[in-house]
Structure 1
Amino acid sequence: MPDHDALEQQLAIIEARLARLEKLLRLSVPEPASVTQPPAASSEGPASLSPPASPAPLAAPFALQEPDSAARPQRASSSAPSLDTTQLLGWSGATALVLAAIYLIRLGIDSGWLTPVRQLVLATLGAGGLIGGGLLLRRHDRQYAAFLPAAGVVVLFATVYAAHLYYGLIGGQAAALGVIAIALLALGLGTSFDSELYALFAVLGSYTGPLFLPDLRGAMGDLVIYFSVWSLVFSAYALKSRRRVVYLLAMYLALIVFSLLFTRYLRESWEGALLFQSLQFGIFLSTAVLFSVRLGRPLEFAEAWAHFPALLLFYALQYDLLDRHLHAWAPWIALGTAALLLGAYLLARMSLGAQSQAGRALVSAYIALVLFHAVYLDLLPPFAQPWVGLAILGILPWLARKREDSEGLLARWPFLLAGGLILLLNLANVLLDKAFTQAPVSPLLQVLYPAMSYVAYLGLRRDRRLAQAAQLLLALAHLSAMTAAVRLIDIAALASVAWLAVATLALAAGFVLRDRVLGQSSLLLFLLAGLKIVLFDLANTAPLLRVVVLLVLGLSLYGGGWVYRKLPQAAVGVSE
């Protein structure tokens, strides 16, 4: 029957498709033993019912779950060594080779066969073998092969120092030329292997050379030339290789090693030391600017703060030198270095066409340091310092509340820190009654500092970001007011009455301004005033004055308690 044949044909097609789906999905349903092929359409039947060409369209969505192995991304093998592991193995192997050479030399020395000359020849040959082996292996794995020549460079430096210091086989000039040649060889290897490791070895070997070679530190002029030439070489290499760490290490070593040599051997040649420090400042400042401009990228924060300790070191070394020999010029020269740093920053910003927040913070921190140390502590007369602190106390709240301008020329926070430090120093002087003996209006300052501290608190109290700073100012204001009362009023009982007056005013101001912090702060003043009166003042006070003081104390405490009960539960109108 035609209809029966057509039905069997359709069932066979469906069964074949189900079998294919089961195979793709890896089902546990067993595959049919055989699939009956649909018979050819009979000419007597209805229109031909040809099956689809392929069941792939139905299987395609499921096939996505089992991609072809060629297209599947290969998972990294768990046995593949990491970069840190390869570095550890490479360094360990190179170190083992160096140790093997050392023990071989020791064995030769103990047996009497290895004379000093033979030791040095073998060391040189071993270093050459390490460098040659690394060059041969470079085509296969340049990064891993770089460890062998690095060990060879270390052996060469040690060979030159040993030949000069321990055996006396070569003179100082030959040793210096050897150090120079090895450092240049290291720079060449660094370029060949594209590794900063060689440059760092070259920096270490060249700058520490004068520590071991007396001929290099014999005269100030020779030492200045030696270090300055290397500073230029390493700066140029850093620019070429685009590795900032090279000139950074050179900068630190130049300042530190020269300072050690100057302190030990050349303290009388301070003019040369001043020239050297100025040259290093100019060389490395220019390098830092050129590096950023050449890369087209401003300083990042990690890079900027890597420069800051070097700036501190330069400032400390140069200011100490100037303070000993040119004291009057020290602050002005320090201001000149700050101006040069600011000019270099502006030049870099103009060339890059972009603002560097890290560079701006770095320059601002150095300028704030110079203003605090060179100008405030050194250049400013002692009698003027308290008035500067008072002026800072007046403008500090305004500066603190002002929003930071990211596009401004300088960052604000370093100057806030410097101003806060100046303020703390002057408030300490107020409390300890120091530094005001040379000021002609010391009593006025004793009054103005607590008064301005209260004003500063009122300016900051509504800013939640500065709540802790405001509370610190309030505490310092109370403390300085109490100190001023003791110093300006000869009678101890009347000074205690002044404390009560300050506490009453603070409580009243807290009530009027709806400032619970200010109101609560008066409790400590009431307590301290009461204890002072009862424990110390009454015994040495005239009877009538004693009665007056006790009346004032009682009324103040009772009235204060009444007002305190009316204080608001929380501060009102505090802004973000």
Structure 2
Amino acid sequence: MDKTRLEEQLRVIETRLSTLENQLNVNQSSQWTEPSPSPVPPLKTSKIQTAKSGNWLGIIAIICFIVAAGFIVKLSIESGWLTPARQIGLATLLGLALIASGIVLLNMDRKYASLLPAAGIIIFYLSTFAAHRLYSLILFQTAIAITVLISSFCIWLYIKIKHDLYSIITAIGAYTAPLILGVDASTVFSLYYCIICSFTFATISIWVQSRTLTMISAYLAILTTAIIGFELNQDTLIAIVLACHFIIFSLGTYFYTQTTKQYLTETEAWSLFPVLIIFYVMEYYFIDRSYPNLAPWISLVFAGFLFGLYLSAKKWFPNQSLNSQPLILAFVTVVAFHSIYLELLPINVRPWLFVFITVGYLFMPGTRLQNKKTSFFIPMLALITILAMEYLAMLSSLLLSDFDISWFIVSVASFLSIWLLLLFDNKGFAKKEDHGYLLLATAHLLGIAGLYQLMTDYGSLAVSASWLFYAVLVISFAFFRKDKTMARSALIVLGFAAGKALLYDAASTPTTIRIFCLLLTGVVLYGSGFLIRRIAEWK
């Protein structure tokens, strides 16, 4: 009995234990699931928002410091209780305090603390400029020397802090120094000073691996030299200095790629395009004032030099397409368009470019163009511009000028080149319906204008007959080729013929000519309509 009772008690205890365990498991699971998950994203968002707010506060604080330094400079002018020398000294001390504070705080918040030394450097520059320009406390050469020291110190801070703001401040302070300090008495010295700055910054940018320093320096060097050149009557010297800047920064970018094995990104490449255009405009302007006949040729030399550097750099990455290719092609295209097309080519030769480009398209590799549409966008745009300009020039000559055999011959050649493109294009451009209509319309308008000039001396009936005959030829050829697009395009010619018959011939020509024109036009229009209806039934 005792043994049986003991077993029953053990079972009861076991049952209670299992019940307690189940309850504990439920409680534990409820305790783990009750608390809501920690709001990690809001915390991160708040940190980001706080950081952004802090950055704005820091920038505003920097502006306050710089404005305060400026008012220190202004204070003596209004009150006179501080001498200019002491005033500059106080501003310099403020700059030192900001730099020291920023360096001390670097370990706490590197990005935020880096704003303070930047403000101190700006105050250093302003103090130096004010010491010479406002108070004449130091000579121009001394101010330039101090500027060089400040720039060197700023480069050291850039190496230590690794913030692009310092490279921007350094370049702006160094290149604008001659302009702010006044270059009237030391203009030539300022030009040589800018060349030294360009060489120094191009070298340092490779050392510290900063594309930003190269870009900012290139813009400032070209603009500063051009501004100085407008005030200096030495165009040849300015052109030589601009060429030196171009060569320095081109080689600097080239050797940067060679040293780091990192080619330009697409954004970096296109950020250099405006400065290349500024250089080209300024260089051409100053060369043209001294040697107008040499300006286009020298410009082509610069374009060839840059293209040669690109080809040399491409050998380092044989299996890759460099992001700078669109930039190089765009610059070479701009130079060639202006120097060759607008300056070097005689006016009577330019219309033949229409024939050359149209026929040349037939021999261009279509696959390569399709794979590099972005790279060839600017060159293709230039070619389209040339085609449009010369096409309008031919139409103008045929319709508004007296008969000129040279213009008539080139117009006929252009007309035939368009038809060659329509018939023998194997890249699919002319096969597309919208492209086909465009090409046929250009050919028909050119044909209408040419026939008008050729037949206008023989009377209105001859002009109408030639247009209608041309339209019949087009429709017949389209019927033979079973080409709906070509057949429908003949409606352009028929429309001109009908408009002439109804609006001009019916009102201005003699009665006999009027009757013949209307009858001939009506017969051709009716017959053409019959053929077009037949063509429309084709599948």
Give the shorter-chain TM-score range.
0.7 to 0.9
How far off its partner does 1:481 sit? 1.7
1:358-385 per-residue CA deviation (whole Å, 9 max, x = no partner) reads 2222222222223322222222222222
Cα pair 2:198 2:217 within 8 Å, conserved: yes
Match of 1:218 among 175, 186, 194: 186
Cα pair 2:91 2:127 within 8 Å, conserved: yes
Match of 1:476 among 417, 437, 442: 442
1:7-37 per-residue CA deviation (whole Å, 9 max, x = no partner) reads 657645653453244224319xxxxxxxxxx
Q: Please, which moves more after superposition, 323-332 or 435-444?
A: 435-444
2:238 alignment counterpart: 273
Match of 1:250 among 200, 217, 228: 217
Please state whether the residue corresponding to 1:114 is helix, strand or coil: coil
Q: Give the alignment of 1:99-498 within 5 angstroms.
A: 99-103=67-71, 106=74, 109-215=77-183, 218-220=186-188, 222-264=189-231, 266-267=232-233, 269-396=234-361, 399=364, 401-404=366-369, 411-433=375-397, 441-458=406-423, 459=425, 462-463=428-429, 468-490=434-456, 491-498=459-466
| AA aligned opposite 2:384 | G
Q: How far apart, in 2, do the equivalents of 1:415 and 1:78 lie?
A: 47
Cα pair 1:514 1:568 within 8 Å, conserved: no
Please state whether the residue corresponding to 1:327 is helix, strand or coil: coil
Q: How far apart, in 2, do the equivalents of 1:194 and 1:299 lie?
A: 20
Query: Cα 1:436–1:200, aligned 2, differ >3 Å: closer, same or farther?
Result: farther
Query: Cα 1:322–1:472, aligned 2, differ >3 Å: closer, same or farther?
Result: farther
1:557 alignment counterpart: 525
**Structure 2 length-normalised TM:** 0.87
Please state whether the residue corresponding to 2:355 is helix, strand or coil: helix
1:124-169 per-residue CA deviation (whole Å, 9 max, x = no partner) reads 1111211122222223222211111111111121112222222222
How far off its partner does 1:466 sit? 6.0
Please state whether the residue corresponding to 1:76 is helix, strand or coil: helix
Q: How far apart, in 1, do the equivalents of 2:333 and 2:79 lie?
A: 65
Q: Please, which moves more after superposition, 386-395 or 490-499?
A: 490-499
| AA aligned opposite 1:454 | W
Q: Please, which moves more after superposition, 1-10 or 156-165?
A: 1-10
Q: Please, which moves more after superposition, 74-83 or 161-170?
A: 74-83
Please state whether the residue corresponding to 1:567 is helix, strand or coil: helix
How far off its partner does 1:5 sit? 6.7
Q: How far apart, in 2, do the equivalents of 1:436 and 1:255 lie?
A: 46
Cα pair 1:94 1:148 within 8 Å, conserved: yes
| AA aligned opposite 2:243 | S
Cα pair 2:329 2:378 within 8 Å, conserved: yes
1:275-318 per-residue CA deviation (whole Å, 9 max, x = no partner) reads 21221111111111122233322222111111111222222222
1:535 alignment counterpart: 503
Q: How far apart, in 2, do the equivalents of 1:460 and 1:540 lie?
A: 47
Please state whether the residue corresponding to 1:450 is helix, strand or coil: helix
Cα pair 2:76 2:84 within 8 Å, conserved: no
Cα pair 1:357 1:406 within 8 Å, conserved: no
1:39-94 per-residue CA deviation (whole Å, 9 max, x = no partner) reads xxxxxxxxxxxxxxxxxxxxxxxx8x899999x98973553244433321211112
1:525 alignment counterpart: 493
**Structure 1 length-normalised TM:** 0.82
Q: How far apart, in 2, do the equivalents of 1:190 and 1:357 lie?
A: 29
2:57 alignment counterpart: 89
| AA aligned opposite 2:209 | R
Match of 1:15 among 10, 15, 19: 19
Q: How far apart, in 1, do the equivalents of 2:307 and 2:197 lie?
A: 26
Q: How far apart, in 1, do the equivalents of 2:254 and 2:377 lie?
A: 24
| AA aligned opposite 2:27 | K
Query: Cα 1:24–1:437, aligned 2, differ >3 Å: closer, same or farther?
Result: farther
How far off its partner does 1:353 sit? 4.2
Cα pair 2:329 2:379 within 8 Å, conserved: yes
Query: Cα 1:436–1:119, aligned 2, differ >3 Å: closer, same or farther?
Result: farther
Cα pair 2:140 2:181 within 8 Å, conserved: yes
Cα pair 1:157 1:205 within 8 Å, conserved: yes
Please state whether the residue corresponding to 1:384 is helix, strand or coil: coil
How far off its partner does 1:98 sit? 2.7
Q: How far apart, in 2, do the equivalents of 1:261 and 1:79 lie?
A: 50
Cα pair 2:296 2:339 within 8 Å, conserved: yes
Query: Please, which runs of 5 or more residues in structure 2 have no aligned partner?
Result: none
Q: How far apart, in 2, do the equivalents of 1:438 and 1:555 lie?
A: 31
Q: How far apart, in 1, do the equivalents of 2:508 and 2:99 lie?
A: 91
| AA aligned opposite 2:224 | V
1:79-115 per-residue CA deviation (whole Å, 9 max, x = no partner) reads 3244433321211112222333444555565443123
Q: How far apart, in 2, do the equivalents of 1:545 and 1:8 lie?
A: 128
Q: How far apart, in 2, do the equivalents of 1:206 and 1:543 lie?
A: 83
Please state whether the residue corresponding to 1:79 is helix, strand or coil: helix
User: Between Structure 1 and Structure 2, how many residues are aligned?
Assistant: 530
Query: Cα 1:344–1:309, aligned 2, differ >3 Å: closer, same or farther?
Result: same
Q: How far apart, in 2, do the equivalents of 1:154 and 1:141 lie?
A: 21
Q: Percent identity?
A: 27
How far off its partner does 1:229 sit? 0.8
